[in-house]
Amino acid sequence: MDERPRIIIALTDRAESAVLADWLASDGFEPVRRPTPHSAVEEMRSRPYDVLIADASTNGRPPLRAEGRLRRAATPAILIGNTAPQRGETVTSQPMYLARPLDRAVLNCYLTMAILEGSPLRRSERKLVHALAAVVNGVPAKILDVSIEGVRIELAREKRAVLPPYFTVRVPIMGVGVNVRRVWACAARGPEPTLWYGGSLLPNRATALQGWKSLIETVPTIGTAKATQQPS
């Protein structure tokens, strides 16, 4: 039985769809190509799937949008468009947005995030913050978004090749420190070479967790992604 994450590719450009399918198959996903909104809807209705990849212009039409609401409160999806999004739009929007030209590593990163958003791991609101200064295992870093269960951080690529499976995140200005398990990592697009890491909080001391909750409640935010009672 194939247990790879199933990714529906609903792109009208057949060449682009084929390239993405090759990338995803090589990276351990199960790509399912559907070139029209109606064929994508049929696929969404017939079998479970993990993420929908669609043209930004196509996904706004009623068939895919309505089907997404029918199947779950917030369908994990990545929209492919031609305009670069504003900072933070790709991680706070539902669905996520990725601009052409496509980068394989960045696409893989967003698929990982989308699949995690569709799992029960995240049960609370995620807040995008203003690049909050932090220290990760003694290395300067920036916190990009936070929730009760997890955190996304950014490190300069030259600072450290790969964070270990478990690491500490400290926010000196808030006097907060927590232990975190690494869930995913990827190279981030931008003017400076950076790495993004997503992590889930480990069982921490009660005082540390209370400090983390206070940070989430008080830190200035850019935007939020709504939580749902079921996987989102």
Range of the domain at 202: 126-222
Q: Are 41 and 52 in contact (CB under 8 A)?
A: no
The last residue of a domain, from among 71, 89, 117:
117
User: Tens digit of pLDDT per residue, the chain (232 long)?
Assistant: 456 888 999 998 999 999 999 999 998 889 999 988 888 888 888 888 888 999 887 544 444 654 544 444 456 888 898 876 554 444 444 568 888 889 888 888 888 777 776 655 455 677 888 889 999 999 999 999 898 888 989 988 765 557 888 999 999 999 999 999 888 877 766 667 788 888 889 999 999 999 999 999 998 877 544 333 332 2
Q: Among the residues of 119-163, which ranges form H helices?
A: none
Q: What is the pLDDT of residue 135?
A: 95
**Do 74 and 33 belong together in one domain?**
yes
Domain-located, residue 229? no
Q: Are 125 and 145 in contact (CB under 8 A)?
A: no
- Interatomic CA distance for residues 127 and 219, integer angstroms: 9
Q: What is the pLDDT of residue 92?
A: 44
- Interatomic CA distance for residues 78 and 47, integer angstroms: 19
- Interatomic CA distance for residues 67 and 221, integer angstroms: 31
Q: Are 187 and 109 in contact (CB under 8 A)?
A: yes
107 Cβ neighbours under 8 A, 6+ residues apart: 20, 23, 78, 98
Radius of gyration over every alpha carbon of the chain, rounded to an integer in angstroms: 18
**Do 141 and 105 belong together in one domain?**
no
Q: What is the pLDDT of residue 231?
A: 29
- Which runs of E-coded beta strand occur in the chain? 6-10, 30-33, 51-55, 77-81, 96-99, 126-136, 139-146, 150-156, 166-171, 176-188, 194-201, 221-225
Domain-located, residue 231? no
Q: Are 111 and 25 in contact (CB under 8 A)?
A: no
Structure token pair of residue 70: 């029918």
Q: Which helix (H) or strand (E) holds 84?
A: none
Candidates 163, 152, 149; CA nearest to 203 is 149
What CATH code is carried by the domain that includes residue 27?
3.40.50.2300
Q: Are 178 and 204 in contact (CB under 8 A)?
A: yes
- Interatomic CA distance for residues 199 and 167, integer angstroms: 9
Q: How many domains does the chain have?
A: 2
The last residue of a domain, from among 82, 117, 152:
117
Domain-located, residue 228? no
Q: What is the pLDDT of residue 229?
A: 31
Domain-located, residue 170? yes
Domain-located, residue 144? yes
Q: What is the pLDDT of residue 61?
A: 47
